[in-house]
Amino acid sequence: MEATMEESTSYCQFSSNEQISRTILTTELPCVPRVIMNENVQTKSKVTIRSSMQIFEKINSWLSKTDKIVFRKYSQLGHLLDLPWKGKFWGTLSHQIIARRINCQKKHELWFLINGKPVRFSIQEFAIVSGLYTSGELTPKELNVVSSNNNLKNKYFNDRSIKIEDVANVLDNIPKDERTKDRVKLCFIYLLSAFLLNSSVGTTIDLSWLRLVDNLEIFDKYPWGRLVYEKIVDQITRVKFQKDHNVDMIRWNFICCPWIFQIWICEAMPKLGEMIGQRIPGNHIPRWIGWNINVKVQNITVARISKVIEEDDEFFV
């Protein structure tokens, strides 16, 4: 028997005239869940991330005024240039949600038992929060165009593997007054590799990305969001809460763009969002650019978060 509690939202087509729902909360669970939370809910946590918002300060420093216009033109990743640079990833908050994950038969989405209700994080919610494309494929003609050249690699990197730090070094050395789209293209690669997808400065970049970005129109059509979403889901489903033997604390790594998951928490569970940040007035698409996350917040403790999650009768209001 399917147990359902409907307060769902549909996929968001991002247009300037679009009317979007007030909440991105979905509480319809088409399976019988088994809750896997345990004492992890009451234990302090330390979540390590490698995806820093400060990369946007770097990207802005590399791009000229004209470059920024071109960068923003490509809407899938271009809007990320407007994200607030300052703000903290509140690992305790994400840990408290992830520790309440429900283990069910849905392999490609995540469910959590929050305030007595099952709450979903799926590719739909991900798309609404991030604005990244999660569907679509390149045509055979476009694939042929992409596979036929790798000009950026030949021009800047020669025959060697390319790491995130190599891209940064090249960008440091392209003069701002040099008229070239290469700065924009390499900044897109840096954004993907240092913020959205890869895990460390020593990570080798997929050379196909360089071929894709050489044609910005094709690059912008690629469903980068699907890759990011799959990595986030894979990370969370693989989390093993292991306590530090020296301290009563659980430590784990959230490598692939944890910021999207944090903003989903703020949007789907505004009572928690108000604990760590403020909504920016207006109807923001994507939702990611509609929040200012605080650098400092007092009293974000396990006990306070748990109390709000478990006892607030107006939690989802």
pLDDT 10s digits, 120-148: 999 999 999 999 999 999 999 998 888 77
What average pLDDT does this structure show over 200-209? 82
DSSP state of 80: G
Residue 270: pLDDT above 50? yes
Say what the pLDDT of residue 317 is. 52
Q: Are 231 and 256 in contact (CB under 8 A)?
A: yes
C-alpha atoms less than 13 angstroms from C-alpha of 110 in its C-beta half-sphere = 26
Tally Cβ neighbours within 10 Å of residue 294.
15
Q: Please, which pLDDT band fits residue 225 given cuts at 50, 70 and 90?
A: very high
Instruction: Show me where the domains of the chain are located.
Output: 1-49+89-136+240-317, 51-86+137-222
Mean pLDDT of all residues in 194-220: 87
Indicate the pLDDT class of residue 7, thresholds 50, 70 and 90.
Answer: very low
Percent of the chain at pLDDT exceeding 70: 82
Mean pLDDT for the chain? Answer: 83
Residue, of 23 and 46, whose pLDDT is higher: 46
pLDDT tens for each residue of 24-42: 556 555 554 444 545 567 7
The pLDDT of residue 3 is above 50: no
What pLDDT is stored for residue 312 in this prediction?
74
pLDDT in tens, 86-107: 889 999 999 999 999 988 777 7
Helices (H) then strands (E): counts for the chain: 15, 9
Structural contact between residues 201 and 118, judged by C-beta atoms closer than 8 angstroms? no
Spatial distance between the Cα atoms of 98 and 122, rounded to a whole number of angstroms: 14
